[in-house]
A and B are shown apart, each in its own frame.
Chain A
Amino acid sequence: MRAQTLDVFRAVSDPTRREMLDLLRRGERTASELAEPFDMSQPAASQHLKVLREAGVVRVRKDGRQRIYRLDPAPLREVFEWSQYYERFWKQRLAALGRVLDETT
């Protein structure tokens, strides 16, 4: 589990950010278009977008005075790998439980 994986996980753990990603799934959006559905201030929206940007799941480009965001889903793949971490973890723990049971009277 790399540090960036956790950034991605944090990024998608928040419902507002998940909805933002969902909007971006349908195409590019400006910062104000991303803020609008949530009835939140521009700075609050910017903060969410910053988290998404730092996790690498959105890319931003400038078009005149607009900042335009698009989804970069590649890092999201790591979230799957992260959930697979628990898959491995519990398989190992259940095997360990079996051994402990065998050793316990």
Chain B
Amino acid sequence: MERALRFEANYPHPPSKVWKVVTTREHLARWLMANDFEPRVGHRFQFRAKPIGGWDGIVSCEVLEIVSERRLVMTWSSNVIDTKLTITLEPDGDGTRFTLVHSGFKGLKPVLTSYLLGMGWKGHVHKAIPALVAQLQSEGRL
């Protein structure tokens, strides 16, 4: 099973405005990262930030799908992960319901299985994991 992280927010701004801030380079840089985004399917671009840990600070993306003021899908790959980002906007009264799904965290499920089936239940691991598993389950991500 592929793991996905899902986030929702309601912004008191119309979808047209949220779309602008989500799909223009200058605005994206203000809330996400410096980038060379273009709102065009097939466009390859990068987000760049300060390297952290083993991540080199570069996220390479390709725009997969664009539906104006509704939906933006792109790949989200770095030297450590190969994932996909889906942003959806829906009108919500005068505002916008914003949903971001970061999917494709492959490999986490088998790892988790290793834990669940009785390995490594000792020391700090045995305290931390059940709590985390319960959390993932309650969020419907397991």
B-contact 0/1 string along A65-105, CB 8 Å cutoff: 00000011110110110010011001101101111111010
**Interface range on chain A: under 10, 10 to 19, 20 to 34, or 35 or more?**
35 or more
Return chain A residues, CB-CB under 8 Å to B98: 94, 97
Return chain A residues, CB-CB under 8 Å to B55: 1, 6
Return B135 CB to nearest CB of chain A, in Å: 10
Q: Is A22 an interface residue (CB 8 A)?
A: yes
Binding site for A on B (CB under 8 A): 3, 5, 7, 9, 11, 13, 17-18, 20-22, 27, 30-32, 52-55, 80-82, 98, 100, 102, 105-108, 110-115, 117, 119-120, 123, 125, 128-129, 132
Binding site for B on A (CB under 8 A): 1-3, 5-7, 9-10, 12-13, 18, 21-22, 25, 71-74, 76-77, 79-80, 83, 86-87, 90-91, 93-94, 96-102, 104
